[in-house]
Amino acid sequence: MPKAAPRRDPHWKAFASRRRDPETKREAVLKTAAQLFLEKSYGRTSLNDVAERLNITKPALYHYFRNKEQILLECYRLGCGLIEEILNDIAAHCGTGLEKVEAFIYSYANVMTINFGRCVMRLDDGDLSSEALAEVRLDDGDLSSEALAEVRNYKRKIDGRLRSFIREGIDDGSITRCDPKIAAFSIAGAVNWICKWYEPEGPLSAEEIATQFARTLTQGLENRNRAATVAVARPNHRVPETGNGSREMIAEPVEKSAPAGAGASILIRKAAVLGAGTMGSRIAAHLANAGLPVVLLDIPMEGPARSGIAAQALEALKKSRPAAFYEPSLAGRITVGNFDDHLELLKDCDWVIEAVTENLAIKQSLLARVAPHLKSDAILTTNTSGLPVASIVTGMPDPLRRRWFGTHFFNPPRYMRLVEIIATPEADRAAVDGVAHFADLRLGKEVVFARDTPNFIANRIGVFIMLEALRLMQAEDLTIEEVDALTGTAIGWPRTGTFRLADLVGLDVLAHVAANFPRSHSEQMALPAFVKTMLERRWLGDKTKQGFYKKEKDGEGKELRLALDWKIVEYRPAQRPKFPSLEMAKTAERLRDRLVQLLSGDTRKDKAARFHWRLLTALWNYAADCLPEIADDVSSVDRAMRAGFNWEMGPFQLWDAAGVRQTVDRMKAAGEPVSPVVERMLAKDIDAWYGDRGDASYDPALEAYRPIPEVEGIARIARYRARNGVVRQNPGASLIDIGDGVACLELHSVKTAIGEDVVRLVTETFRAESDAVRNFSAFVLSADTDNFSVGANLMQLLLAVQEDEWDDVDLMIRAFQRMTSSIKFCPRPVVVAPFGFCFGGGAEIAIHGARRQAHAELYMGLVETGVGLLPAGGGCKEMTLQAVDSGAPDALRKNFETIAMAKVSTSAVEARRFGYLAQADRITMNRERLLHDAKELARELVNSGYAPPLSRQDIPSPGDSMLATLRMGVRMMREGDFISDHDAKVANRVAHVLCGGKITPGTPVSEQYLLDLEREGFLSLCGEKKTQERIAFTLKNGKPLRN
């Protein structure tokens, strides 16, 4: 029988073009080599084998790797890097020592089933020395001493961390007394052996093997005599399959244990979503973002592609804007199917979410089909937005009803923070708490418990006020644009206003929610005739390309924005509203001040004042009347509106800001209705919905204040500021004691732009001789604003440049560099917690931290080239260091492209890929937990014996050969008309700095040398007229100019 031809890697040809990303080719080499090491052993695999499998020549391999040893080491680094990240996540997010050991076994066992993990361990005996697991003999001798030292160091690290987890368990009582060294050896020996016998096509999946190993190996360690056993929650470090059968090295976040009874005992490792519509598919995407493998099912189609609906939904997710996934590769975690052929895929799902059409009969029919395929402890929830949750499972078996409740997400689920949980009377509290715990920590959600009433909380209040605004528009003879201006940022609501939001949500959705309102409010919820006409014409908003607004092009191809004239139900050019009182109020920075100004206008003469008064009093009365019905307390309503509709303040917070007694007196004087709920509150001499500095809220049932429960790990800087005061401050920043020996340096300048005041306080705080360094053991650098920082204060820079104050500009750059250096070399660890926009100088601050604890929604970039400059606060220097230290031949080119193209991440996951975050940095899903997680990371660094880095003097410079390569790339981009002449000039300056100038490759240079190059390049570009034009244009228009 003829011998089968060796399998060729199909990916190499796809990347054969010189324009393709060399990093993808490099990855193909590693994946192919790892597979061959498994098939033939390391010793019997040659570079010829690798080249033949890839269908390339052997010399082509030398462009990416010097020899076979380097390939093996890189495979080893990938495997060990994943293990190290897992260990960091476990240390941060698991509770007891036993939990950490079990999480380690579970995750490490999973790693032993992937190619990069298996190839490290599964080497033939002839390839191993007696010293350690990875001392590999090559044909011409052992590994080099440097490589061997690196391998041993990785092994010691992993072994040491496992032993520390065991010691921690002994100390906290969760692990019985034993020898940590023997226990660690026993665990490592058992788990490492998986790679010897594991086969991907075997009867047990990697996850099943990992689960059994974790359970079996920890049984002997568990202290069964412990008085109160803490429930164990394992992380989900599943590494998904990629299209070519290999596995991507992606580590998921680890679930943090909660106190007993708070949901930590519920383990959610795999989920399913029933219904692949807009909402269902996006829920599936965010579950994948959280690290879960997800099954996405919908009705079958005719023909061979029976799962086409779910498959098309997945393809749409990959292209959606804003992006549904943190990174495109995460789409690989979703498995699609249909309700007829693939219900068996639900058998190992821990959480199943129903998200089909809002039809009671359809939901009940589907659940009856699904129920037999669920495991006994699976949690089943519905994403219904209006149907009574309990009614959907009427007649279903008791065990299913106990695992059934509502989880109402808001669209788009990745970006909208609210999840309303609606527990039925029969729902098992542990299951409810488990999902709430998971939604908080892993999905990053603001969890609000709502009652099983029509439209729950947020839609009940939010859609009411949207329809009230619509009614007032007609009564006051206002336009669509005028109402949007009045219901936008001036009152702390999103800039979309009422009708732009309606177009985003969909008019059909709003009509459906309105139809669900209780009959007692039907007279207020009736849709106007013109809205019914829009529904008939299918003018539903963005989904149909026209709603309250419409875009079209004129004869010259320019885009025109049209608005609906509601009187004739036809479109006309949109107009800019003019309300003098509104424009005046917008000058006030605080919402409280704007609100007072807006409500103080003369309602008889000022149409805007009259609209705001009537709208807000309607909101306040309606919210108060609904309170006993829809939620337990006012804080739940306010949290729901802030997270679900992106309001700056909830209705009760707004009322407090306006003054409850003053506004009620005004309502009564005008003969307007007042909610009896607020009248009873005022009768008790309680003048505000919140008391005790916001830590208690009024309870209508008690007719008194009730403390708002504090959730462990949820904290903002403002809370510590109110409790502990300020250590020192200036207009741009403050230093605040956040407890446990940790201080937070808070940025709070306008738009958190980095000006002279921020630079001064940061530098003074982190210098080695400062009082702060003496008095605190660690620092967190963050903010309470919407964005971490938009970068350096460009206005200050432009004014200095235009006045030819070049000495001042030089001093500005030097001061900025001293600031970032003070962060990096501070004797105490400085953990930077970036979130939202983190641009330019803000990114440079983050890059210089000892570590970063980033929010998942991080839009980070060194964007200076967009205004014709280059990063001069150490950003170029750090990207050079990163490239040099990585040893990867293409690292500097990638970092050059990142800076020159001003790449901005669309998530923290992507920021890590761009090199803005390191593998050891951590990601927090819930913005409200970011400060706490950063603080814990800072304390962990202290406890591990943190020592600051030393300023490096011997950095091997990439030199003039790399500079020539980068400049050739710039020239080709210019010749292809992809960039302008000024873009090319800026890019060449960036290349000059990154390469260390025109010097011999390998010439040792210092960090200060690279900083000087940054400063020189920055000053030179500041003098360019086109750079000054870019800065001025960006300041005026908020977007870059290409000139």
The full set of domain ranges for the chain reads 66-219, 271-450, 458-706, 713-863+906-947, 866-903+950-1043
Mean pLDDT over 152-162 rounds to 78
Asked whether 94 and 179 are in contact (CB, 8 A), the reply is: no
Phi and psi (nearest 5°) for 576? -85, 120
Given this model, what pLDDT does residue 692 score? 80
How far, in Å, CA of 455 to CA of 516, rounded?
A: 7
CATH of 458-706, one of 1.10.8.190, 1.10.1040.50, 1.25.40.340, 3.30.56.10: 1.10.1040.50
Tell me the residue type at 891. A
CA distances from 671 to 267, 465, 592, 603, 664 (A): 56, 21, 26, 15, 10
How far, in Å, CA of 465 to CA of 509, rounded?
A: 15
Given this model, what pLDDT does residue 614 score? 97
The DSSP symbol for 749 reads S
Per-residue b/e over 394-406, b at no fewer than 16 CB within 10 Å?
eeeeeebbbbbbb
Per-residue b/e over 36-62, b at no fewer than 16 CB within 10 Å?
bbbeebbbebebebbbbbbebeeeebe
Say which CATH architecture domain 713-863+906-947 belongs to: Alpha-Beta Complex (3.90)
Does residue 87 register a pLDDT over 80? no
CA distances from 834 to 318, 340, 790, 817, 844 (A): 26, 46, 11, 19, 11
Share of the chain above pLDDT 70, in %: 89
Among candidates 414, 419, 323, 834, which has minimal Cα distance to 643?
A: 419
How far, in Å, CA of 38 to CA of 44, rounded?
A: 10
Phi and psi (nearest 5°) for 752? 45, 40
pTM as predicted: 0.77
Among candidates 139, 175, 131, which has minimal Cα distance to 156?
A: 131
The more confident residue out of 692 and 845 is 845
Does residue 913 register a pLDDT over 60? yes
Given this model, what pLDDT does residue 147 score? 64
* Model pLDDT for residues 347-403, shown as the tens digit of each residue: 999 999 999 998 999 999 999 999 999 999 999 999 998 789 999 999 899 999 999
Asked whether 874 and 1014 are in contact (CB, 8 A), the reply is: yes
Among candidates 937, 932, 936, which has minimal Cα distance to 917?
A: 937
* DSSP β-bridge partners for residue 851: 831
Instruction: Give the burial class of 873: count Cβ atoms within 10 A of its Cβ; 0-12 exposed, 13-18 middle, 19 or more buried.
Output: buried
Query: Residue 593, Cα to own-chain centre: how many angstroms?
Result: 32
Residue 148: pLDDT band with limits 50, 70, 90:
low
Given this model, what pLDDT does residue 243 score? 34
- Helix, strand, coil percent content, the chain, rounded in steps of 5: 50, 10, 35
Asked whether 854 and 843 are in contact (CB, 8 A), the reply is: no
Given this model, what pLDDT does residue 24 score? 66
Pairing of strands 742-747, 778-782: parallel
The more confident residue out of 657 and 38 is 657
Does residue 294 register a pLDDT over 60? yes
DSSP codes, 199-219:
-TTSSS-HHHHHHHHHHHHHH
The DSSP symbol for 343 reads G
Share of the chain above pLDDT 90, in %: 66
Mean pLDDT over 545-550 rounds to 95
Given this model, what pLDDT does residue 65 score? 79
How far, in Å, CA of 995 to CA of 957, rounded?
A: 6
For the domain 66-219, what is the CATH code? 1.10.357.10
How far, in Å, CA of 579 to CA of 588, rounded?
A: 15
Given this model, what pLDDT does residue 133 score? 34
CA distances from 959 to 2, 22, 746, 878 (A): 53, 21, 39, 16
How far, in Å, CA of 45 to CA of 259, rounded?
A: 51
Q: Is the dihedral of CA 410, 413, 418, 420 positive or negative?
A: positive
* Contacts of residue 542, Cβ cutoff 8 Å, sequence gap at least 6: 503, 504, 506
Helix (H, G, I), strand (E, B) or coil at 75: helix
Query: Residue 125, Cα to own-chain centre: how many angstroms?
Result: 44
How far, in Å, CA of 976 to CA of 972, rounded?
A: 6
Mean pLDDT over 676-680 rounds to 95
Count CB neighbours of 804 within 10 A. Answer: 10
How far, in Å, CA of 872 to CA of 881, rounded?
A: 15
Tell me the residue type at 863. V
* Model pLDDT for residues 842-896, shown as the tens digit of each residue: 999 999 999 999 999 999 999 999 999 999 999 999 999 999 999 888 999 999 9
For the domain 271-450, what is the CATH code? 3.40.50.720
Given this model, what pLDDT does residue 48 score? 84
Tell me the residue type at 898. T
Task: Please report how the helices 1025-1037 and 981-994 are oriented relative to each other, as an axis angle in degrees rounded to 10.
Answer: 100
How confident is the prediction for the chain on average, in pLDDT? Answer: 87
Given this model, what pLDDT does residue 16 score? 35
Given this model, what pLDDT does residue 802 score? 93
Does residue 14 register a pLDDT over 70? no
How far, in Å, CA of 714 to CA of 436, rounded?
A: 14
* DSSP β-bridge partners for residue 404: 380
CA distances from 697 to 534, 619, 686, 690, 838 (A): 42, 18, 11, 4, 35
Mean pLDDT over 1015-1032 rounds to 96
Residue 198: pLDDT band with limits 50, 70, 90:
confident
How far, in Å, CA of 47 to CA of 37, rounded?
A: 11
One fold for both 271-450 and 458-706?
A: no
The more confident residue out of 751 and 725 is 725
Mean pLDDT over 697-705 rounds to 90
Instruction: Give the burial class of 219: count Cβ atoms within 10 A of its Cβ; 0-12 exposed, 13-18 middle, 19 or more buried.
Output: exposed
* DSSP β-bridge partners for residue 832: 781, 852
Phi and psi (nearest 5°) for 698? -70, 135
Asked whether 717 and 931 are in contact (CB, 8 A), the reply is: yes
The DSSP symbol for 650 reads -
Does residue 12 register a pLDDT over 70? no
Does residue 172 register a pLDDT over 80? no
How far, in Å, CA of 1030 to CA of 374, rounded?
A: 59
Mean pLDDT over 290-316 rounds to 95
Given this model, what pLDDT does residue 98 score? 86
Does residue 264 register a pLDDT over 60? no
Given this model, what pLDDT does residue 125 score? 36
How far, in Å, CA of 608 to CA of 612, rounded?
A: 6
Residue 978: pLDDT band with limits 50, 70, 90:
very high
Mean pLDDT over 706-724 rounds to 91
CA distances from 368 to 343, 381, 387 (A): 12, 14, 17
